[in-house]
Structure 1
Amino acid sequence: MSTTLEFGTPVPGILSLRNIASVVERFSTVRSLKLPLAIFGTGLLSYIICNIIYNVYFHPYARYPGPYLAKFTDLYAGYHAWKGDIHLDMWRCHQVYGDKVRYAPNRLNINTVMGLKNIYKDGKPYLKSKNYAAMVHQATNTLTVRDRKDHGRRRRVIQQGLSDSTLRAFEPYMYEIINRFCDRMIQTVEEEHQARECGQSHNALENQKWNTSRNMSEWCNYLAFDLMATFIFSGKYNMLEREQYRYVVQCIEQSNIRVSSILQAPILKAFRIDKILFPRAIVARNMFLGFVGKLLRDTKKNDRSQRKDLFEMLSHAKDPESGNGFTPEEIVAESVTLVVAGADTSATAMAAIFFYLSRNPDAYARAAAEVRSTFDSVEDIQGGAKLNSCRYLRACIDEAMRMSPSVGQTLAREVPVGGAVVDGDFIPGGCDVGVPIYAIHHKEDIYSDPFNYNPERWMVEKEGASQQVSDMYAAYNPFSVGPRSCMGKGVALVEMMATFAVVLFRMDFKMADTDTAGGKPGSVYGRHRASEYQLRDHITSAKEGPMLRFRPRIVKPAVA
């Protein structure tokens, strides 16, 4: 038998020369790939190590104390943004490390009145942090635009739509919605006169007229959204009475979890890691964008000749300096931003006011007495000097927003080229700085007993006030301060004053037995105070409760 092997002839159990050549070729290919991969991996690892060493030991912020992980990664802040306790963690850090805390590799939180003044008020050319670029979806808006000139142009145009005349035109619709809200709060309660016809005593009425509990975080969301959609788009989506569009509120809250996380840690957007980490938020965002499309289609179909809402005003407003108006894309971007930001923040503030008034009977009684002695009827409640004279009601609103601000974290700013002095320290250009709102609102050397709801602290006149009272006003910034502050502040305050004037005139309310909106003793530090309304900070705040019970206002019969 011949044992001669021809080249390429396969022999069972023996590698052919061709197979051997193929294996060698594949091995060579793998080896040729290994070298560049090894070089890339080594380079990447070296970069990471060098970056960590630089951030920890040589960065301009290396001398400032703070959480160790925050020295070299944004993921520390990103984690707390995802968790929803970033406002509390910033406050805890200042309790541990002092007024100046390094909260990220390139961010310094400064918890002082002087820091607030230097960064936000002094008029120096600070930019919004580069991190805000992570929030841009399709087009920039006033909230995300970094360029100072572009921001100034947008602001000048929008302010024309927020004029006193626009607010006056909105007032009848606003009070209609507020009264509809009150109707829903007492909808399940029998008419008071029916009980009176049965000869029940006043005490019996007090015991029998309370309705079933209401989750005020939900109802304040519906109220605020109806108000803003009407003000901006003349939209009648009526969340107070119809469930069809209530999913939009949940979409915004869910989407904000992702947005707040990438705002703090933009690296999460690299290679679209955020899509993997936040799939529910992506779905929620897409559902919300679908609603926005419907909103815009409905707006275009509506008869625009009868209403002068903000959308209509922005369509015709011009920048007084350049003579240019908004493009159609800018009108949409700004209008939608105002609806989302305005409704979300106002809803949180109103829920907080309900929480604190329901738990502080003296403040509740004084605010109710002020409103009921100022107005003769619910129709008498209108914007103007009479409503503005309710100073204690305004103090209750201010104190609720101090204790539980809708935005509690730092609104970071980038130090301009050439650097700047912030609270006595020189900060190089390109570094981020900011003042955490929740932390400075609870600073003990500014606000005595800061976790105690005390509206009386705001009743002190500014003129001739002590330095502490001056600092108290200077530190108060629930709408931020300076040229980047909330443009809708005036609208929000009008809505809140009107809402609670009508509520206190028409109804009584009290805390339900099932309410859990406050902190829980034994919880993590910062979540342990039962007297504090608990928020989850995701840029704006998510919340749950308070659970309240309502009844129509009971007027005691006059003594003969």
Structure 2
Amino acid sequence: MMFALVIGYRLFFHPLSTYPGPLLAKVSDIYAGFYALGMRLHLVMYSDLKKYGPVVRHGPNKLVFSSPKALQGNFSTLYNRDEDILTFQDIYNNERVTKSHVYELTVTSGKPSIFNAIDKQKHRRKRKLIGQAITDKAMRSFEPTMLGQIDIFIKEVLLASKASQPVNITDFTKRLGADIVGHLAFGYALNMQTDPTNRFVLQGLAVGSYQNNSFMQFPMLKNLRLQNLLIIVGYKSRMKYKNLLQQMITHRLSQEKHARNDLYSFVVDHLDDPTVGVTTSELWSEALFFFPAGGDTTTTAMSALFFYLAQYRDVYEKLTTEIRQTFDSEVSIRNGPQLSSCKYLRACIDEALRMSPPVGGTLWRELYSDELYNGPFIVDGHMIPPGTQVGVSIYALHHDEQYFDDPFVFRPDRWLTEDQAILSRMNSAFSPFSIGGRGCAGKAMAYLEASLVIAKTLWRFDFTLAPGRKGQVGMGVAGKGTGRSRPKEFQLYDTSGSRHDGPNLIFRERHL
């Protein structure tokens, strides 16, 4: 009886009852939870937004949007009580909005990290401190280390090319990303590119990301302690991961505090300051966030771009020409004016990020406090009831034909148009790193790493898809189902980041 009353209320009397959406989603988080467990919630959201319109009820207390106004708004004006004017407000730049309470379900150490801190002041303090490791000055200091790791990547590709072995780009770039983050966050050489010993970390991170996303989309899993079913998966890897983490911390603390250009060196003089709000012990938890935030994001961008270059040979030829005409040697490829002049390279990276956003799902937000502003919470003209989670489906927005012509075609030239109206329209709907105070602090680092890897690889090698079934890894398959049927789309699997596989490529060294 109670169950029927709850369903009846959510369908007919709930403040969100007038919004369209799948029937099951209106009455239960089981809908989102089911597709989150299947790692295709981003595809289902895209399909639902196409079916029901730009605002969809995707849970009993959730509204998902697909519009630039909801993403970043045209106006930042707050509700004016004196003039009684309602203006549009966005979600992610809005001072009244914070991360949804579901992020609390991902707290494991008892203290929130930069990823799951809901308190805005606490998040700002953490972000300001951690951000010191990825400022322009810090990146200039760290660049030689990054270049050294990229050179190892090139050597590993060279070894595979001499053996005529296919290179799984996802595997190679994940190892590269983890090695770079290991040096940046802990000043520690994980050596994943050349030694398999620590590669279990990647599996542990993937399991953790999947688990967190499942909890956030379907809180009942954790509330009913059903999370134990998920925790069993990868338990051994997580224990090994914790032991390695302790080893990394002990190793770093045994050195002089400024011995390396890493996170600890950049922030150590500000730790345990009450105005900062981050203790030395908490710093290591924050450092862990660099792995998914830095490693996974860049890995997805690079894997996707290699995939699309293999699929679109005209783009491949044009980008290869730009790189080889700009640089006279591989060693000359580094951060600076020459790299910045490669406009087509940047367009290719942006197009890969549009087609295959590293975080393609919805970053849920909710009203934080009305202590300063007592007006209604408006998103893209919709008055949002208290207690409602709101968010934008990035994957859906990136593939909306209102903002991107032929949205499932990889076309980097779209970003080089001289038509400012078209460019403005696209940029309003483009958000691979999120925006606002919670946006990705490492955006510049991600672009730099991707640019260097792609440029150095294309300068040194030619490549094609591996023959046979190996060459099909990463592709969609005709008739496979919702969002999985496009062969020329790099397939992503939605966790709180993205899982993917491939492409498998055959590299041939250039003979100069």
Which residue among 162, 179, 201 is the counterpart of 2:134?
162
Aligned position for 2:462: 508
Q: Which has the larger radius of gyration?
A: 1
Matched, 1:329 2:286: no
Aligned position for 2:291: 339
Aligned position for 1:357: 309
Matched, 1:178 2:157: no
Matched, 1:493 2:447: yes
Aligned position for 2:423: 469
Shift of 1:340: 3.0
Aligned position for 1:20: none
| AA partner of residue 41 (structure 2) | I
Cα distance in 2 between the residues matched to 1:343 and 1:476: 21
Any residues of structure 2 matched to 1:120-135 within 5 Å, and which? Answer: 120-135=91-106
Matched, 1:533 2:457: no
Contact kept, 8 Å, 2:272 with 2:279, in 1: the verdict is no
Aligned position for 1:299: 252
**1:345-403, Cα deviation, whole Å (9 max, x unpaired):** 21111111111111111111111111111111112112122111111001111101100
Shift of 1:93: 0.5
* 1:367 partner SS: helix
Cα distance in 2 between the residues matched to 1:522 and 1:348: 25
Shift of 1:535: 1.0
Matched, 1:523 2:475: no
TM normalised by structure 1 equals 0.84
Aligned position for 2:38: 83
Shift of 1:297: 2.1
| AA partner of residue 502 (structure 2) | G
Which residue among 63, 88, 112 is the counterpart of 2:67?
112
Cα distance in 2 between the residues matched to 1:323 and 1:450: 46
Shift of 1:536: 0.8
Aligned position for 2:262: 309
Closer/same/farther in 2, CA of residues 65 and 188 from structure 1, 3 Å limit: closer
Contact kept, 8 Å, 2:90 with 2:380, in 1: the verdict is no
Which residue among 105, 120, 123 is the counterpart of 1:151?
123
Aligned position for 2:401: 444
**1:415-448, Cα deviation, whole Å (9 max, x unpaired):** 3445411111111222111101101000011100
Cα distance in 1 between the residues matched to 2:310 and 2:230: 38
**1:490-511, Cα deviation, whole Å (9 max, x unpaired):** 1111111111111111111111
Which residue among 325, 332, 341 is the counterpart of 1:380?
332
Shift of 1:211: 2.1
**1:465-516, Cα deviation, whole Å (9 max, x unpaired):** 12x4312101110100111101111111111111111111111111111222
Which stretch shifts more, 445-454 or 287-296? 287-296
| AA partner of residue 430 (structure 2) | Y
Contact kept, 8 Å, 2:93 with 2:435, in 1: the verdict is no
Any residues of structure 2 matched to 1:216-227 within 5 Å, and which? Answer: 216-227=169-180
Aligned position for 1:554: 511
Cα distance in 1 between the residues matched to 2:238 and 2:272: 32
* 1:551 partner SS: strand
**1:167-206, Cα deviation, whole Å (9 max, x unpaired):** 011111111111110111111445xxxxxxxxxxxxxxxx
Cα distance in 2 between the residues matched to 1:302 and 1:56: 61
TM normalised by structure 2 equals 0.91
Contact kept, 8 Å, 1:222 with 1:246, in 2: the verdict is yes
Aligned position for 2:18: 63
Shift of 1:304: 4.0
Cα distance in 2 between the residues matched to 1:521 and 1:89: 17
Closer/same/farther in 2, CA of residues 307 and 122 from structure 1, 3 Å limit: closer
Cα distance in 2 between the residues matched to 1:530 and 1:427: 39
Number of residue pairs matched by the alignment: 487
| AA partner of residue 115 (structure 2) | L
* 2:196 partner SS: coil
For structure 1, which runs of at least 5 residues remain unmatched after alignment? 1-44, 191-209, 556-560
Identity of matched residues, % = 35
Aligned position for 2:80: none
* 2:400 partner SS: coil
Closer/same/farther in 2, CA of residues 495 and 277 from structure 1, 3 Å limit: closer
**1:302-361, Cα deviation, whole Å (9 max, x unpaired):** 4544312112212223799x7435202321111111123211121111111111111111
* 2:423 partner SS: helix
Aligned position for 2:75: none
Contact kept, 8 Å, 1:275 with 1:282, in 2: the verdict is no
Which residue among 40, 43, 51 is the counterpart of 2:6?
51
Cα distance in 2 between the residues matched to 1:296 and 1:52: 50
Contact kept, 8 Å, 1:407 with 1:539, in 2: the verdict is yes
Which residue among 136, 147, 162 is the counterpart of 2:107?
136
**1:65-101, Cα deviation, whole Å (9 max, x unpaired):** 1111111111211111110101101001011111111
Shift of 1:278: 4.7
Which stretch shifts more, 416-425 or 215-224? 416-425
Aligned position for 1:244: 197
* 1:186 partner SS: helix
Contact kept, 8 Å, 1:255 with 1:282, in 2: the verdict is no
For structure 2, which runs of at least 5 residues remain unmatched after alignment? 73-88
Cα distance in 2 between the residues matched to 1:243 and 1:378: 27
Closer/same/farther in 2, CA of residues 407 and 213 from structure 1, 3 Å limit: same
Cα distance in 2 between the residues matched to 1:104 and 1:335: 33
Matched, 1:103 2:58: yes
